[in-house]
Structure 1
Amino acid sequence: MGAAPNAAAVWGRTEQQDFRSRVRGTLLGGALGDTLGAPLDGLTLDGIHAEHGDEGLKQLVPVYGRTGAITAATQLTLFTVDGLIRAQVRRDTGAWHPPTDVHRAYLRWAATQRDWGPDLRRKEDGWLAREEWLYSRRGAGQACLLGLGNDVMGTLDRPKNLDADGAEAATRSAPFGLLVGWEPQLVFQLSVECAVHTHGAAEAYLAAGAYAVLVHALARGDSLDAAVQRALALLAARPGHPPVADALKHALGAVRQGMPTAARVGELVGDGDAPGVLAAAVYCALVSDDIRHGLGLAVHHDGPSAQVGALCGSLLGALHGETALPPAWVAEVEGRPTILELADDFAMEMTQGAALHGPAGASAGWLARYPRA
């Protein structure tokens, strides 16, 4: 990353409220798609119908021992948010390299996958890493576990897991799009630089970058069609972009092919690599004004249901805000208080960070939550 970008110049009360709603919507929407799809992962469409009836899931059902349980995708998304806030706070010290702060946050997540619970003596870990409910193993992919298995940070010059082409990096990348004061190309670059911590295949890290740009455009009030065009424009300059660009164009073309079907979603997903998962999620968001319908479409197919659901949910949440999410589903999401608290902290940092910390002084409570160390 280069020099620190400037924040948005003016945040009126209405703008702050709208932004907070979109941040909450993005994080909760992703969690909803994640938990709705998790029980269907590994099932074919025929298997889904055999287990849940011809109409499939119409409500959240138990997975990982409880209703509303999230997977590693949402866990990592929350740690992405934590890392971005920590980057803003550490900027006061003169240090500015968000990929490093996000990587450190991912290492804190990795500790939740091997430790029994938080080490309360480690004050530098901040508050999120002390949330005991996050210390659960929830189907993390091998690329994430291997990429974060040591302290070495992947970079574009030396990415981790060169053959990893799955969508796990994309499913944790929505928070980069919530940096609405940044220019789209910087959002794309940061998402890509953080994707290679675990996923070194071009189609995986470029899909993550494109997805962050989609969320960014929606969080700034653009339509999803306009957001896709923005992502395509930024992809065009990147080596290795054709699989991701072609997948997005395929999603746009599928919208014009009549009523949406599970077969069409499955055809877009293809082999379940990052471009296919991204394309399916975009398609489901494009053809659905109703969030229940969009998420239902996103999880009923032969591919990775939780991944498509998570990506689609964050797109719809960024587009419509939190109040458009189904309240009965939201009420059952695991860790909802933590998700909302983190979302509100992010919105406050991005809109009022100067009042919380700076060279002239800082809130002790804020620095205890997001230490500069």
Structure 2
Amino acid sequence: MPPSAAPPDPDRILGCLLAGAVGDALGAPVEAMSLAAIRERHGPYGVAGYTGPAPGAISDETQLTLFTAQALAQASVRARARGIGGATLGLLQSAYLAWARGQGEPIPEQPSLSPGRLASVPALMSRRGPGRATLAALRKAAERQKPGWPLGKVDEPINGSKGSAGVVRAAPCGFGFPGVKGTFTLGCEAAALTHGDPSGQLPAGVLAAATASLVRGADLPAALDLAAAELLRRPHHRETAAALDAAIALARTGPPSPERLESLGRGFTAPEALAIGVYAALCAESAGGGAEEIGRRGLLIAVNHSGDSDSTGSVCGNLLGARHGSRAVPAGWRDALEVGAAVADLAEVCALEFGPNPPADEWGEPPMSWHMRVFGS
């Protein structure tokens, strides 16, 4: 069975969410610090593990990724229960609005807005440096008080942003859709809810499509090749394709270093965040070793630079975790991760819902117990 047709591997789903969260937690304390400042504080090799006042604490990258995964599982349950689809983007927007309220944003009361099980995890509902473009877009969507009606669309841009917050939450879009084309489209549409520039959307499509292949057994170069081929079929792809090509080429030309990495940018835009995450993941794999060694190496490459270290760490972690599973995360980092239990629970939900035999009753519909677990009510 080719990877594109296989069901997602449960451990690769867990690895994707887990390593992405760990990369975020490693990078968050040094986000926007210069490389010189990182080395002055942490030594000549930079960050080597969790740092900061709350080691293992995550930021908005992980919050949004988990809310994305939860909403996608909810959309699948609803489609199986009612026999119709089409609610995915509305549920995603609703999830993001619930998240924004948790950030303390003045979001008007919304009808039928349920934050789900994640609302019970304080670290996922507290303010952790949310992006301005994301919050502004969600405030605009909230003004209509129709959370299930997506406002930002690929063909109706909500703003002109191409910031990294659209790509960092896109990996779960690859869990439930085995086809590269459909997954790529979903990644773009999910990013378009808050980021209107094509260069804020297409990197999300690349990460979603690559993740879809990885969790179904593909290796990293093959997954990136399939995603890149789909990217070239999309309009306005030039900036994202150039960033991705530069990352792949740079990974082939010599040993990694922060200085070489920084030639790809700083990671504050989506194409740059994607490029740095891809570069770090490819460099980590090319050096060889076991899954844990590769995961550790890649995440540290991804966060030790002058830029958006939590975003680039998250993207790299998504890729390596989806490729190597939970073994890509060193046990000490996994055990100290602030939201480790929530990640494990949500990964299990996604693996079951998107697996070959999702929970069903005697009539073939999701049982009430499963509905309550996925929707948190």
- Give the alignment's TM-score, normalised by structure 2: 0.87
Determine if contact 1:115/1:135 at 8 Å carries over to the other structure: no
Q: Which residue of 1 aligns with 2:25?
A: 35
Q: How far apart in 1 are the matches of 2:265 and 2:6?
A: 41
| Amino acid corresponding to residue 251 of structure 2 in structure 1 | V
Structure 1 residue 45: deviation in Å? 0.4
| Amino acid corresponding to residue 341 of structure 2 in structure 1 | P
Q: Which residue of 2 aligns with 1:55?
A: 45
TM alignment of 1:123-134, pairs within 5 A: 124-134=114-124
- Which segment drifts farther, 72-81 or 128-137? 128-137
Cα RMSD over matched residues?
2.4
Q: Which residue of 2 aligns with 1:301?
A: 305
Gaps (5+ residues) in structure 2? 286-293
Report the secondary structure of 1:80's partner residue.
helix
Q: Which residue of 2 aligns with 1:86?
A: 74
Q: How far apart in 2 are the matches of 1:262 and 1:126?
A: 40
Q: How far apart in 2 are the matches of 1:282 and 1:271?
A: 12
Q: Which residue of 1 aligns with 2:130?
A: 140
Which 4+ residue blocks in structure 1 deviate beyond 6 angstroms? 8-11
- Give the alignment's TM-score, normalised by structure 1: 0.88
Cα distance 1:254–1:115, how it changes in 2: closer, same or farther (>3 A)?
A: closer
Q: How far apart in 2 are the matches of 1:50 and 1:209?
A: 37
2:259 is aligned with 1:263: yes
> What is the aligned residue count?
352
| Amino acid corresponding to residue 77 of structure 1 in structure 2 | T
Structure 1 residue 280: deviation in Å? 1.1
Q: Which residue of 2 aligns with 1:70?
A: 58
Q: How far apart in 2 are the matches of 1:36 and 1:202?
A: 29
Q: Which residue of 2 aligns with 1:164?
A: 161
Q: How far apart in 1 are the matches of 2:125 and 2:376?
A: 23
Q: How far apart in 2 are the matches of 1:137 and 1:306?
A: 15
Q: How far apart in 2 are the matches of 1:79 and 1:352?
A: 23
Cα distance 1:93–1:39, how it changes in 2: closer, same or farther (>3 A)?
A: same
TM alignment of 1:234-245, pairs within 5 A: 234-245=230-241
Q: How far apart in 1 are the matches of 2:370 and 2:272?
A: 40
Q: How far apart in 2 are the matches of 1:123 and 1:194?
A: 18
Q: Which residue of 1 aligns with 2:269?
A: 273
Task: Select which of 327, 330, 335 maps to 1:326.
Answer: 330
Determine if contact 2:98/2:113 at 8 Å carries over to the other structure: no
Q: How far apart in 2 are the matches of 1:40 and 1:372?
A: 34
Q: How far apart in 2 are the matches of 1:10 and 1:261?
A: 36
Report the secondary structure of 1:321's partner residue.
helix
Determine if contact 1:281/1:312 at 8 Å carries over to the other structure: yes
Structure 1 residue 357: deviation in Å? 5.7
Report the secondary structure of 2:284's partner residue.
coil
Residue identity over aligned pairs, in percent, reads: 36
Structure 1 residue 99: deviation in Å? 1.4
Report the secondary structure of 2:195's partner residue.
coil
Q: Which residue of 1 aligns with 2:195?
A: 199
